[in-house]
Amino acid sequence: MNLLVLNCGSSSVKFQLIATDLDRIAQNTDQRLARGSLERIGGEAIITLHAEGQAPHRSTAPLRDHRAAVELVIRWVCSEGSRISDVKSVGDIHAVGHRVVHGGERFRHSVLITDEVLRGIEECIDLAPLHNPANIKGITAAREVFGVGLPQAAVFDTAFHQTLPEHAYLYALPYQLYRRHRIRRYGFHGTSHRYVAYRYRQLRGIPRDQTNVITLHLGNGCSAAAIRAGDSVDTSMGLTPLEGLVMGTRSGDIDPAIVDFIQAKEGLSAQEVETLLNKQSGLIGISGLTNDMRELLDEAHEHNDRRARLAIDTFCYRARKYIGAYLAAMGGADALIFTGGIGENSAEVRTLICEGLEWMGLKLDAERNSQHTSGREGLISRDESRLAAFVIPTDEELLIARDTVRCVRGAPQRY
Ligand code: ADP
């Protein structure tokens, strides 16, 4: 089957075309045919289209909305110019898989999208007002373009974390707030944490129930997960993706009383403080320079910029604290897994995070660590390290494609 995987943001569509099926999943021979992104939808969009084995093609074009973006993707995929040999017409795309950010407590697994499922995703808008509406736009656009007959599946960022025990997902607030409004920890990046845990057990040749790891997804958004016997038992993001680690522009954990304090002292509205915490905090907030880790590392090295260094140190310290907390929460782990743009590429950040963890049995191998950049997968700790460390580049799209195949074929979901 040829699967179109869509990841729709408020003004962007990222896509991949993946050939896979139940046999291919079993043999691990899924094949990526193409990928690309369309940014700044609603205006003059920046378009990148990249068929596997060809040079990427970049252009700009006015794109009115998500539907126009999906139409452009399909036109390109099916065109002679893309040179994707197995896809010549719309009929050669067999299903669509969507990344959906919030599935609340309702969606514990990936599902085929029906009208009822779509209503369920709409009901979660309250919990993810920025993300779910964009995902719905993508689903609606694909329905309009392909017709309702083509199977579409929703794969939720929150689903993998639905195994958190009650004591890990409850906030210590009046219990009726959970009852009335479902205020609790949901966690995000679930498909990424799930993918790297799956790859880890493949690399080690162990079964799911022996998978005891801490996964660190460090990209623009950052989160940690504690995975015991293959299940997520704790994670750092909460009701929304604002909680937890220091991120590019998000604060992560703060004292909740700070919100009121900033409002009073700075004369800001609640909405403005929320923007401050989401868009002006984290790495960019501390450094005053940029949310981009690579640029911060350059500033720290080339100009010895004090606040760039402080932002990096705060970022790494918070990540280290979570590793300690999760080791205690899980009763120990076998490995630490780094993923996401920063986790996959920066040996320096990995070193800083792991600094001082030797006492708990983590011995990074400097040579191996320095070799794992540019998305290279593998072990970065010494052979005798009691707690191993791995770099595993994430591949959320692959899991979305595989889940979609299982939904279409009626096969059980594999988490
Ligand atoms: P997103 O969460 O939007 O998918 P990514 O996972 O691509 O983002 O991560 C983006 C982050 O990864 C940026 O902070 C970027 O600077 C960082 N990054 C990418 N390459 C490197 C590198 N070689 N060294 C340090 N940081 C890097």
- The yes-or-no answer on residue 157 being catalytic is yes
Q: Are 307 and 282 in contact (CB under 8 A)?
A: no
Six-digit token string for 64? 């009115």
Say yes or no: CB of residue 103 within 6 Å of ligand 1: no
C-alpha 332 to ligand 1 mean position (Å) = 29
- Matching fold, domains 2-156 and 206-391: yes
What per-residue confidence (pLDDT) applies to 129?
84
Element (H, E) at 191: helix 190-204
Six-digit token string for 299? 């500033």
Q: State how far the Cα of 292 lies from the Cα of 283, in Å rounded to an integer.
A: 8
Residue type at 5?
V
Task: Name the active-site residue from 23, 115, 126, 157.
Answer: 157
Question: Domain 206-391 adopts which CATH fold?
Answer: Nucleotidyltransferase; domain 5 (3.30.420)
User: Where along the chain do its domains lie?
Assistant: 2-156, 206-391
Looking at the CA of residue 374, tell me the nearest atom of ligand 1: 23
Per-residue pLDDT in tens (0 to 9) along the chain, 415 residues: 999 999 999 899 999 999 999 999 999 999 999 999 999 999 999 999 999 999 999 999 999 999 999 999 999 999 988 999 889 999 999 999 999 999 999 999 999 999 999 999 999 998 888 889 999 999 999 999 999 899 999 999 999 999 999 999 999 999 999 999 999 999 999 999 999 999 999 999 999 999 999 999 999 999 999 999 999 999 999 999 999 999 999 999 999 999 999 999 999 999 999 999 999 999 999 999 999 999 999 999 999 999 999 999 999 999 999 999 999 999 999 999 999 999 999 999 999 999 999 999 999 999 999 998 888 999 999 999 999 999 999 999 999 999 999 999 999 888 8
Q: Are 12 and 104 in contact (CB under 8 A)?
A: no
Phi-psi map region of 374: left, alpha, beta (phi>0 left; psi -120 to 50 alpha):
left
C-alpha 219 to ligand 1 mean position (Å) = 5
Say yes or no: CB of residue 221 within 6 Å of ligand 1: yes
Nearest CA to ligand 1 atom 19: 341
Pocket perturbation via mutation, ligand 1, pick of 193, 345, 391, 397 by most ligand atoms within 8 A of CB: 345
In what order do the strands lie in the sheet containing 222-228? 231-235, 222-228, 213-218, 335-339, 388-391, 378-379
What per-residue confidence (pLDDT) applies to 48?
97
Q: Is the dihedral of CA 164, 166, 172, 174 positive or negative?
A: positive
Phi-psi map region of 406: left, alpha, beta (phi>0 left; psi -120 to 50 alpha):
alpha
Say yes or no: CB of residue 292 within 6 Å of ligand 1: yes
C-alpha 20 to ligand 1 mean position (Å) = 28
Pocket perturbation via mutation, ligand 1, pick of 284, 289, 342 by most ligand atoms within 8 A of CB: 342
β pairing state of 152-156 and 111-112: antiparallel
In what order do the strands lie in the sheet containing 31-39? 57-62, 44-51, 31-39, 13-19, 2-8, 95-100, 152-156, 111-112
Say yes or no: CB of residue 297 within 6 Å of ligand 1: yes
Say yes or no: CB of residue 352 within 6 Å of ligand 1: no
C-alpha 346 to ligand 1 mean position (Å) = 9
Separation in Å, CA 244 to CA 7, 70, 273, 318, 410: 23, 34, 17, 8, 36
Q: State how far the Cα of 225 lies from the Cα of 34, in Å rounded to an integer.
A: 30
Length, in residues, of the chain: 415
Which residues contact residue 31 at a Cβ distance below 8 angstroms, ignoring those fewer than 6 apart?
18, 19, 20, 24, 52
Pocket perturbation via mutation, ligand 1, pick of 101, 195, 220, 301 by most ligand atoms within 8 A of CB: 220
Residue 201, Cβ neighbours under 10 Å: how many? 16
Q: What is the C-alpha radius of gyration for the chain, rounded to an integer number of angstroms?
A: 21
Q: Are 283 and 317 in contact (CB under 8 A)?
A: no
Looking at the CA of residue 297, tell me the nearest atom of ligand 1: 25
pTM of the model: 0.96
Q: State how far the Cα of 214 lies from the Cα of 197, in Å rounded to an integer.
A: 9
Six-digit token string for 170? 């409850």
C-alpha 391 to ligand 1 mean position (Å) = 14
Six-digit token string for 390? 């791995």
C-alpha 409 to ligand 1 mean position (Å) = 36
| Domain at 2-156, CATH homologous superfamily | ATPase, nucleotide binding domain (3.30.420.40)
Say yes or no: CB of residue 342 within 6 Å of ligand 1: yes
